[in-house]
Amino acid sequence: MTGALRLQGVSLSLVGRNLFQRLDLVAEPGQTVTVMGPSGCGKSSLLAYICGTLDRAFVATGSVLIGDSDVTGLPPERRGIGIIFQDDLLFPHLSVAENLAFGLPASLRGRKARLGRIEAALADAGLSGFGDRDPATLSGGQRARVALLRTLLSEPRALLLDEPFAKLDIGLRTRIRAFVFDHVRDYGLPALLVTHDPADAEAAAGQVITLAPAGNDDPEEAAAWTPTSPSPVRLP
């Protein structure tokens, strides 16, 4: 069991343009907080800031905590924050099992033990026997599940979801959503979801935060923007 994912007073700006200021949020273990907002408001930059891969061009202040530990100054690999993108980003030069082995910690030693763990994870996702497959031969839904498994096998302390369902067919989306949020609950992971789609937020069944359009100097467009979420938390 891990602690809550906590953002404290996070501000982000790019060449003098404020993306957002003093954002606070808490995702409890097993819960998913959803961040919504128009394109360009800095949703993806926020996720990059949390995992530590933000471009140098940004100026960021604030802190990221998991439980009681402050991970703000740590390099990405030592934060223990897994991220799932819109594109599943399975490594095309590796087989499905090798992709999963890539996520599995090195502390689990021995080829046999590692393969066993991978087979168990595949079976859990209804993908038994898929280990030797080339990721390119998998369907969109299968790839999405493998990508989540890979992240879960790396034993993260928190999970970030960057519009993970956007590229899936509508029919598939409901099933994969359930798959992801069930695992978030089962593993007791604090999760942060970034999305355009109100249905995603509904499925996540957690708090919803809406970011205002950032530094927009066209007052008409800024006024035309209305939050889409049912219970928006407007930020200054």
Partner 1 sequence: MAEALQPLGRDAPKAGFPARGLLGWVPALTLATFLLPICVGLLGTWLPAFGYLPAIGGAAFSLEPWRALFASPGFERMLALTITSGFLSTAIAFCLTIWFVAACHETRLFAALRRLMTPLLAVPHVAVAIGLAFLLAPSGFFFRLAAPWLTGSEIPPDLAILPDPYGLALALGLVVKEVPFLLLITIGALDQVGAKQRLATARGLGYGPIAAWMKTVLPAVYPQIRLPVYAVLAYALSVVDMAMVLGPGTPPTLAVQILRWFNDPDLSMRFAASAGACLQLGLVVLGIALWHGFECIAIHQARAASFAGRRGGSGKVQARAAGLAMAVVVALGLGGIAVMAVWSVARRWRFPDAWPSAWSLETWSRHLDGVAISGWTTLGLGLAAAGLAVALTLGCLESEQRVGRRPTHRALWLLYLPLLVPQIAFLFGAQVLAFRLGWAGTWAAVVWSHLLFTLPYAFLALADPYRALDERLLRTARCLGASPARVFWRIKLPLLLRPVLISFAVAFSVSVAQYLPTLFIGAGRVATLTTEAVALSSGADRRVLGVYTFLQAALPLAIFALAIGLPGRLRPFGPAREAGK
Three-state secondary structure readout of 38-57: CCCCCHHHHHHHHHCCCCCC
The residues near 115 (Cβ < 8 Å, ≥ 6 apart) are: 97, 131
Radius of gyration in angstroms for the set of CA atoms belonging to the chain, rounded to a whole number: 18
Question: CB of residue 104 vs partner 1: minimum separation in angstroms?
Answer: 5
With tokens 């994912």, the residue in question is 5
- One residue of 4, 94, 125, 233 binding partner 1 per CB under 8 A: 94
Q: Does residue 51 bind partner 1 (CB under 8 A)?
A: yes
- One residue of 61, 70, 102, 139 binding partner 1 per CB under 8 A: 102
Judged by CB under 8 A, the stretch of 72-80, 169-177, 183-191, 196-204 that binds partner 1 is 72-80
- One residue of 77, 134, 202, 221 binding partner 1 per CB under 8 A: 77
- One residue of 29, 30, 42, 82 binding partner 1 per CB under 8 A: 82
Bridge partners of residue 64, in order along the sequence:
7
Burial string for 169-192 (b: 16+ CB within 10 Å, else e) reads: eeebbeebbebbbebbeebebbbb
Q: Does residue 12 bind partner 1 (CB under 8 A)?
A: no
DSSP-derived letter for residue 198 is H
- One residue of 89, 222, 233, 235 binding partner 1 per CB under 8 A: 89
Residues 72, 142: Cα–Cα separation, whole Å: 34
Binding site for partner 1 (CB under 8 A): 48, 51-53, 75-78, 80-83, 85, 87, 89, 91-94, 98, 101-106, 108-109, 111, 114, 150-151, 154, 156, 160
